[in-house]
Amino acid sequence: MSGFDNHKFMRNAIELSMENIKKGGGPFAAVIVRNGEIVAASANSVTNDNDPTAHAEINAIRLACKKLNTYYLSDCTIYTSCEPCPMCLGAIYWSHIGKVYYGNNKTDAGNIGFDDSFIYNELEKPIGNRDVEFVQLLPEEAITAFKEWENKSDKKEY
């Protein structure tokens, strides 16, 4: 991304996060840039949408993918007002975004009540020891979809 004003794009994300607080949302926002142009910008809308997955990064990724008509954002950079949580980090990896700039870090977020450490801790536990009960059910039936996918000759890999 050399030659582009990273500070300008980060300031866009920070300003959007400030505006979102005034609208009743959380203090988070993200901007996705490709070739020096903003292709998507969004704030956290968890409480406004009653959607726990409506984090700023997720919202921005959805908008960028729709606008660019692709699920592969490897030529994009995301500027986010805070270090991404585990869910958003997963979405960033799944969308193949090439670079992440962030303002606040996860400790800053934890200090104001947005602590993700419990999720990181859960991921380290064996599945049977997690706080949420996980029960495998009908794996011998569920595997048929995987086998069909594996044998599909015209599948679109992602």
Catalogue the active-site residues.
57
Distances (CA, A) of 122 to 83, 126, 131, 152: 19, 8, 7, 35
DSSP characters over 95-152: HT-SEEEEEE-HHHHHHTT---HHHHHHHHS-GGGSSS------HHHHHHHHHHHHH-
Asked if residue 122 lies in contact with residue 96, where contact means CB atoms within 8 angstroms, the answer is: no
Q: Please measure the distance between the N-terminal and C-terminal CA atoms of the chain and give it in whole angstroms.
A: 25
